[in-house]
Amino acid sequence: MSSLAIVAVLLVISSISSGSETAFLSVSKARLHQRARLGQARALKAIKLVSHPEPMLTTILLINTLVNIASSALITAFLVQRFGEVGVAYATIAMSVIILIFAEALPKTLGSRFAEPITLALAPIFLALIWLCTPFVWVVKALNRGILRLMGLHRQNLPAFTENDIRGAINLGLEYGTIKHSEQRMLDAVLDLDDLTVADVMIHRSAIAALDIATDPSTIPEALGKLKHSRVPVFSGQPDNIVGVLYVRDYLAALAQVSNRTQVVLKDQLRAPYYVPETTPVGHQLLEFLKHRRHLAMVVDEYGDVQGMISLEDILEEIVGDMADEKDGTAENVLGPDGSIILAGRLPVRDANRRYGWNLPEDGAVTLAGLMVDRLHHLPGQGESLTVGTLTLTVASKRGHRIEKVHLAPVKNDIPPKAPDA
């Protein structure tokens, strides 16, 4: 075989190695795992290869170094034999151009464009090459680690796939139109669940719609009709002294068995309340609801005092947004022509931000009323205002010491809030 034929073969090997390197590093691990779940053997080998890139990269480096040096030496000898010493210059120029285009740029472009098929096709071959080059790979790895240790750069065992990688994939899917904006928002919300506690999304105890256990039995159906909930906390004496939870279907079933509603004893229809600490991550609480097949929980602090209530619907709303049903009726919050709006003081800041696209601080007070008190450092009076970011909050109405309604308006020259989703 002539020198030129050998050089051609070596350059083909070099181009395959270069293209494979790019393919191995850019292939989608998620798609490989999907193929592996379908039982594709090549996908399993590809996962094994790309999961440990250091031996693979070292082997490719060895192959490229050997073939490029060998091809350069052969072409140099050939041209020196033909043209004398000036052949060295010819060989340098020729091999630089050939290696740059045909052994680097073009193969890497192809490797990037066809990463998955190239990886699946060549993974078994490179696994065999890695096994053959194991002694050399081990020596190179040992030298690399020793040099890094001398430089003070110790190896860190970082996870190969992190939450940031997932968020990046979601945003990339949004950018390319693979997923919709609403889907991106829900996926991000799922990842945020464990960054929230039940205290962040619960209904405050002052806003819990509960039933007094001392309610006249003859008026219970009317009281339940006004509450419009399928599960109702029942208290005794004080509203935060929850003694049980009434499932309306249980009450109706019992009511159907008697001739007079006064014969149904409310206490006998109650189910034991389900308590959760206020520090429980929302993601964990969602799993607990599913595990125990419950929809409602009372939130308590470290002293066991009831601070609020959280339902399965509250958690789902963190993912999909507000879920209105037939019992909610029409929205009472109406945007004014200037972008102003009046909201309940007990409305959580997170809900207000989600509905209207605001950026009110969520790291302190839970409700709009609490936000005003937290920022003013006193109980505001009727008509007292406070500017937070791009919004001016004003006490619209009070009942005793409680802020019932808060008027929110954009600061002059600011963009009005968006209307809530239908």
Average pLDDT over every residue of 215-244: 90
**What pLDDT does 324 receive?**
62
Res. 160 pLDDT band, cuts 50 70 90: low
Res. 397 pLDDT band, cuts 50 70 90: confident
Does position 331 have pLDDT exceeding 50, yes or no?
Answer: no
Res. 342 pLDDT band, cuts 50 70 90: confident
Window from 123-132, 351-360, 396-405 with minimum mean pLDDT: 396-405
Residues of the chain above pLDDT 70, percent: 92
**What pLDDT does 336 receive?**
63
The phi, psi pair for 246, rounded to 5°, reads -95, 120
**What pLDDT does 417 receive?**
52
Window from 47-61, 156-170, 274-288 with minimum mean pLDDT: 156-170
Neighbours of 263 (CB within 10 A): 11
**What pLDDT does 329 receive?**
46
**What pLDDT does 422 receive?**
42
Task: Calculate the average pLDDT of the chain.
Answer: 86
Q: pLDDT tens-digit profile of 271-330? A: 999 999 999 999 999 999 999 999 999 999 998 899 889 999 889 888 887 666 655 544
pTM, two decimal places:
0.62
d(CA 112, CA 104): 12
**What pLDDT does 330 receive?**
44
